[in-house]
Amino acid sequence: MNKIFLIIALFLTQFLTAQNWNYTLQEAKTKAQQENKNIILVFSGSDWCAPCIKLDKNIWMSEEFKKIAAEKWVLLRADFPKKKANKLSEAQTKENGMLAEKYNKEGNFPLVVVLTKDGKVVGKMGYKNVSPAEYIKFLEEFK
């Protein structure tokens, strides 16, 4: 009985602290307009790009970023995995390709693009080996 309770508690904790990522531009823009927030669009190679993996682990998954992101931004992820096991749906692959064509023509990974609620670029940056607080400061400079 205790094991079941523990498993449920762990599941709920993970669910409650998980990032609220969006996966389509339209979905992110709708939320951003409703909440009057900017959008953070992240281009990532989740299974091959070492700086992308570090950015995810050190910044996006940090409690500090999660808390501030929930208050200030709508999050949008465009992932480009290479391993067959991580293959995305055809629709998601197409959406991510459209996002790359519009916002990441150079093909930089990782690339973090800050957009207005209407989808206009206000800033871009890549991986920086800094604390979550410092990374958040960089993001806040784009207004």
86-141: pLDDT as tens digits: 999 999 999 999 999 999 999 999 999 999 999 999 999 999 999 999 999 999 99
Q: What is the pLDDT of residues 10-22, one digit of tens each?
A: 444 344 445 799 9
d(CA 90, CA 32): 25
Tokens matching residue 98: 């459209």
Beta bridge partners of residue 44, listed in sequence order = 79
pLDDT given for residue 69 in this prediction: 97
Q: Could you count the other beta carbons within 10 Å of the beta carbon of residue 93?
A: 14
Mean pLDDT of all residues belonging to the chain = 90
Say which amino acid occupies 141: E
Say which amino acid occupies 113: V
Which pLDDT band, with edges at 50, 70 and 90, does 143 fall under? Answer: confident
CATH no. for 19-140: 3.40.30.10
Q: What is the mean pLDDT of residues 44-69?
A: 97
Peptide bond into 81 cis (omega under 30): no
Helices of type H across the chain: 2-17, 25-35, 50-55, 63-72, 90-103, 132-140
pLDDT given for residue 12 in this prediction: 40
Over 60: is that where the pLDDT of 7 sits? no
Name the residue ranges covered by the structural domains of the chain.
Answer: 19-140
Gyration radius from the chain CA atoms: 16
